[in-house]
Amino acid sequence: MAVVAHFLSRPVLLAYCLLLTSVMANANQEIPIGYLELQQQRPPLLSNVLPEPEDSGLQGARLGLADNNGAGRFVGQHFSLLEARLDNIDALLKQADDWQQQGIKLLVANMPAAQLEQLSMHFSGTDTLIFNAGSPEDNLRHSRCLNNVLHTLPSRAMLTDALTQWLMAKRLKHWLLIEGQRPNDKAYAAALRRSAKRFGAKIVASKEWTFDSDLRRTAQAELPLFTQTKEYDVVVVADELGDFGEYVLYNTWYPRPVVGTQGLKPVSWHRVVEQWGAAQLQTRFEKMATRWMTDGDYAAWLAIRSIGEAVAQQESSEAGALRGWLLGEQFQLAGYKGRSLNYRPWSGQLRQPIPLVHSRALISQSPQEGYLHPTTDLDTLGYDRPESKCRIAEHTAGAN
Amino acid sequence: MKKPLLFTTSIASVASALALAASQALAATAYVSNEKDNSLSLIDLDTMKVVKTIPVGQRPRGIIFNKDYSRLYICASDDDTVQVMDTATHKIIGELPSGEDPEQFALHPDDRRLYISNEDDALVTVVDTLTKTVIAQIDVGVEPEGVGISPDGSLAINTSETTSMLHWIDTETNEVVHNTRVDQRPRHVEFSHDGKQLWASSEIGGSVAVIDVASKEITKKLKFKIRGIHPDKIQPVGVKITDDGRYAFVALGPANHVAVIDAKSLQVLDYLLVGRRVWHMTFNTDQSLLLTTNGMSSDVSVIDVNRLKVIKSIKVGRYPWGVVVKP
């Protein structure tokens, strides 16, 4: 608790302490949750003017915890968060083992796909339930199925499908695709190619960004020539870390919009999302963390809130029972996106609308009107049941 | 020659003044809060036209009259205050210490105590409107929203959206005495005229719980189905029940419809198409008309309660939120 308390302002802290005492008074169900984050070195980037917050994810988890306890205190449930943020996976696994000893079987993981798979394997054969709040990797949703993992972060395919639906609605069908050299950029570009094929867009030219000059000084000279290809309606960029993408805007050979990882972006969360009560979540978050809420924060918040709602709806905190409930049809979670959210029973992916934003405004939200689906139009985003090999709801968490 | 002329003129002016006074006395006026225009739109319910737009505090949402309609209380959410407007002059004559981010409130039958939801602070603030002091602050769930007070004044009910609960507050002690879990994002509560039933809408859960007040048990959960509209878009918010207990109306948000319910059999009778994103509603004095605020289309729909038909839509300011009628 002390960890949570140190960054709170005094009146809030006071309120928090009061809350804590009232919780102590009637708590009879303890629900501890472990937060595991693999801290990574960020490579040097060209557009490094506005750095990402270092505690992205963690603060979202903390807010989720506060929100859970806001409800739990009325019914004698108390949630707590144990935090481990380390720079190697072995140490994290050891921490998770220690927690396991203490009976902590609900974990929120903020780490890349490879380490997440390690974590998932490590706990195979147990009823530990892991929430993926850090990896958008598509193959975790369609082929490398993890029975003990639910995904609150949208997959890349969900993001690029959301973007592509909007592009098709705008009749921006001819694309110039520019991709970076990092594996994540390649994965994002692959997701874009899949979306193009799925919704009928044409990639008229495809280029890889290989330059190593400092674009802040030379973008004006380099990019017009680089984007001088067969004519396109739109430039689609795959540059997840923001190395060169920011400089493509306003520098293209043809005066065309830029979308993808820069320009108009499909995101799971952003400061400009304010409808459907989202303004309240943003305010709560900013009060607590004194910064804006990122998509990583939102994914961790969703994970903790999923646990909170499942415990409240199910009146059990046993990991196996919770998993069954979360993957069932009865589960509902309000996520400030104007819809009730729930999990796909095949892949464990949380269904959710995807906002399309630029830095100062929400432009649209997908699924777009007219994209229909026999179950829910949210399943027009990402890997649908027939496209995925996963059937995790048919197995137990421990099966592998 | 001059005298009679003068006489006629003055008669005429007196007559027109009288006529004006009469029309002012007769015509009921609807007050609509425009969340994104920081204003109120006043609609004359005889002509069904906006007759006045009054600038108020930032992000006005909940609005409510005192008993004799001499004052209007306005939740100016982004100013963290409740403004008090004199309805004769339409001037803001004071502010109440509402706590932060007041959104919705209800006035106790004693005409003094306001129960205000402080959305950002998980509190309900009870304010004495006479002494302008805070009587109590009550800890509730996350994002408190709807407030309803039982007709006998003994109970205040508050909904907390993120916690998905109704908190039952004893107005004598100002303490939470009971909690009822409902579906996701409860927005609004409404007592039946006789105080025996409590209706609570759940926006994201897509349902309305009808609760027996004596036993505090949910007796029925109403669900809605409109052909051609995805169930996720059916998001109940505002609820109004006629005093005679015949009909209940439920505003269904982005489904752009108001559900009509037989309040006795609890069966849905019809869905009426109104403007976009319909949230709150109010009756006129004799309950022959129901007005709805449609946020996305920035208008108010007028429903004829006896014929169950939408008869008019009236353009107001941006994002209309609350509506109340002064006789």
> What confidence category does residue A31 fall into, taking pLDDT thresholds of 50, 70 and 90?
very high
- Backbone conformation region of residue A314, classed left if phi is above 0, alpha if psi is from -120 to 50, else beta: alpha
How far apart CA A254 and CA A182 sit, in angstroms, is 26
Rounded to 10 degrees, the C-alpha dihedral A283/A289/A293/A299 comes to -110
Radius of gyration of chain A (CA): 21
CB contact under 8 A, A71 and B232: no
* pLDDT of A25 strictly over 90: no
Dig out the tokens for A384 from the structure: 């649908």
pLDDT of amino acid B120: 84
A74/B179 touch (CB, cutoff 8 Å), yes or no: yes
Contact B101 A283 (CB under 8 A): yes
Name all contacts of A91-97 with Cβ < 8 Å and 24+ positions apart.
Answer: A92/A36, A92/A37, A92/A38, A92/A119, A93/A118, A93/A119, A93/A122, A95/A34, A95/A36, A96/A34, A96/A36, A96/A122, A96/A123
| Residue in B165, B176, B206 nearest the CB of A71 | B165
**Chain A touched by B164 (CB under 8 Å):** yes
Residue of chain B nearest A72, judged by CA positions: B163
A333 part of contact set with chain B, CB < 8 Å: yes
In sequence order, the 6+-apart residues with CB closer than 8 A to the CB of A206 are A176, A177, A178, A179
Residues of B in contact with A339 (CB under 8 A): 204, 232
Q: How many CA atoms lie within 13 A of B295 on its CB side?
A: 19
Put simply, the answer to whether A312 touches B232 (Cβ < 8 Å) is no
Q: B291 and B301 in contact (C-beta within 8 Å)?
A: yes
Q: Do B204 and A339 touch (CB under 8 A)?
A: yes
Q: How far, in Å, CA of A215 to CA of A226, rounded?
A: 13
- Tell me whether residues A71 and B160 touch, CB distance under 8 A: yes
Task: Compute the average pLDDT of residues A213-241.
Answer: 89
Verify whether the Cβ–Cβ distance B165 to A22 is below 8 Å. Answer: no
Token reading at A231: 């004519």
Cα separation of A328 and A146, whole Å? 17
In this structure, the number of other CB atoms found within 10 A of the CB of residue A381 comes to 29
Please spell the DSSP secondary structure of A203-227, one letter per residue.
EEEEEE----S-HHHHHHHHHHHHT
- Determine which of B163, B180, B230 to mutate to test the interface with A (most A C-beta atoms within 10 Å): B163
Which of A71-75, A96-100, A211-215, A345-349 has the weakest average pLDDT?
A: A211-215
Mutation target for A interface from B101, B104, B232: give the one with most A CBs within 10 A.
Answer: B232
Strands (E), B150-298: 155-160, 165-170, 175-181, 186-191, 197-202, 207-212, 217-223, 239-241, 247-251, 257-262, 267-273, 278-283, 289-294
Q: How far apart are CA A270 and CA A274, in angstroms?
A: 9
CB contact A287 to B (< 8 Å): yes
- According to the model, what pLDDT value does residue B58 have? 95
Q: Compute the half-sphere exposure of residue A138: CA atoms within 13 Å on the CB side of its CA.
A: 24
CB-CB under 8 Å, A283 with B254: no
Instruction: Give me the total of CB pairs closer than 8 Å, taking one residue from chain A and one from chain B.
Output: 69
A76 — contact with chain B (CB < 8 Å)?
Answer: no
Mean pLDDT, rounded, for A349-377: 94
Cα A140–A144–A148 angle (5° rounding)?
75
- The average pLDDT across B168-182 equals 97
Query: Could you tell me which residues come within 8 angstroms of residue A65 by beta carbon, excluding any fewer than 6 positions away?
Result: A4, A33, A79, A80, A81, A304
Q: Which residues contact A197 (CB under 8 A, 6 or more apart)?
A: none
How many whole angstroms separate alpha carbon B107 and alpha carbon B125? 12
DSSP string of B260-304?
EEETTTTEEEEEEE-SSSEEEEEE-TTSSEEEEEETTTTEEEEEE
pLDDT at position A27, please?
54
Q: Do B120 and A283 make contact, defined as CB atoms within 8 angstroms?
A: yes
Q: Is B142 on the interface with A (CB under 8 A)?
A: yes
Segment B141-153 shows an average pLDDT of: 96
Question: What is the number of alpha carbons within 13 Å of residue B190 lying toward its C-beta?
Answer: 26
Cβ–Cβ < 8 Å for A229, A176: yes
A377 at B interface, C-beta within 8 A: yes
- Residue A142 three-state SS: helix
Cβ distance B139 to A332 less than 8 Å, yes or no, reads: no
Read off the pLDDT of residues B259-284 as tens digits, 9 standing for 90 and up. 999 999 999 999 999 999 999 999 99
3-state secondary structure of B98: coil
Mean pLDDT check: name the lowest of A44-58, B59-73, B189-203, B220-234. A44-58
Q: How confident is the model at residue A48 (pLDDT cuts 50, 70, 90)?
A: low
Is residue A148's pLDDT more than 80? yes
Give the count of beta carbons closer than 10 Å to the beta carbon of residue B72: 23
Q: Is A1 exposed, middle or buried (0-12, 13-18, 19+ CB in 10 A)?
A: exposed
User: How many other CB atoms are found less than 10 A from the CB of residue A149?
Assistant: 25
Instruction: Confirm or reject contact between A338 and chain B (CB < 8 A).
Output: yes
User: Could you report the per-residue pLDDT of B68-91, keeping only the tens digit for each?
Assistant: 999 999 999 899 999 999 999 999
Question: Is B205–A332 a contact, with Cβ atoms under 8 angstroms apart?
Answer: yes
* Residue with more model confidence, A27 or A320: A320
B204 chain-A contacts, CB cut-off 8 A? 332, 334, 339-340
Enumerate the β-bridge partners of residue A358: A361
B205 touches chain A (CB under 8 A): yes
Smallest CA–CA distance, residue B258 to chain A, in Å, is 18
How far is residue A206's CA from residue A180's CA, in Å, rounded to a whole number? Answer: 11
CB distance from A284 to chain B under 8 Å? yes
Beta bridge partners of B289: B304
For B279, nearest residue in chain A (alpha carbons) = A276
The alpha-carbon gap from A136 to the nearest alpha carbon of chain B, in Å, equals: 25
Please tell me whether the peptide bond between A112 and the residue prior to it is cis, using omega within 30 degrees of 0: no
Q: Which amino acid is at B86?
A: D
Distance CA A137, CA A43 (A): 20
The alpha carbons of chain B give a radius of gyration, in whole angstroms, of: 20
Judging contacts by C-beta atoms under 8 Å, the chain B residues touching residue A280 are 119-120, 143, 161
pTM: 0.87
Question: What type of residue is A290?
Answer: T
Alpha-carbon span B174 to B135, nearest angstrom:
9
- Describe the strand order of the beta sheet including B144-149 as a list of residue ranges: B144-149, B155-160, B165-170, B175-181
Q: Of the given ranges (A24-33, A51-60, A231-240, A351-360), which has the lowest mean pLDDT?
A: A24-33
Question: What is the C-alpha to C-alpha distance for residues B316 and B48, in angstroms, rounded to an integer?
Answer: 11
A17 touches chain B (CB under 8 A): no
**Closest by Cα among B173, B75, B71, B153 to B108:** B153
Q: pLDDT confidence of A52, banded at 50, 70, 90?
A: confident
